Amino acid sequence: MHLWRVVGQNSDTSVFDVGSGAELHEILWNLPLFPFTTIAVIPLTEHPSALSANPRARAGAAGAAWGRPRRRRPPGAA
C-alpha cells in the first residue's frame, strides 16, 4: 500500500496492490475509520513503459532517476 497526503486538502490518496475487488473490499471494510470516510475506487493496471515492466529500462534507471542525466566518464578516464 502507498499513501499520500493531498496538498491543501484534508484528504489522502492510497494505492493498494490487490489481486481482486473482493480483497480490496475486505481491506477497506476493516479500516477503523471506514464508516466515516468517503472512498472512490479507480482500477489501475501497470503501464507497459513502467520500469517494473521493462527490465532493460530498469538497468539504466539508477542514474536517470528524477530526470537527472547520467554522468559519463570521458574515454580513458579511470
Query: Domain map of the chain by residue range?
Result: 2-66
Q: Give the pLDDT score at 73.
A: 64
In CATH terms, is domain 2-66 a member of 3.40.50.720? no
Which residues 6+ apart lie within 8 Å of 69 measured at CB?
63
Q: Give the pLDDT score at 31.
A: 92
Q: What DSSP letter does each residue of 11-43 carry, written as one string?
A: -EEEE---S-HHHHHHHHHTSTTGGG-------
Encode pLDDT of 19-73 as tens digits.
999 999 999 999 999 999 999 999 988 888 877 766 665 555 554 545 555 566 6
Q: Give the pLDDT score at 53.
A: 67
Encode pLDDT of 8-17 as tens digits.
998 889 999 9
Given the C-alpha cell 532493460, which residue does it identify?
56
Q: All 3 cell numbers of residue 20?
A: 481482486
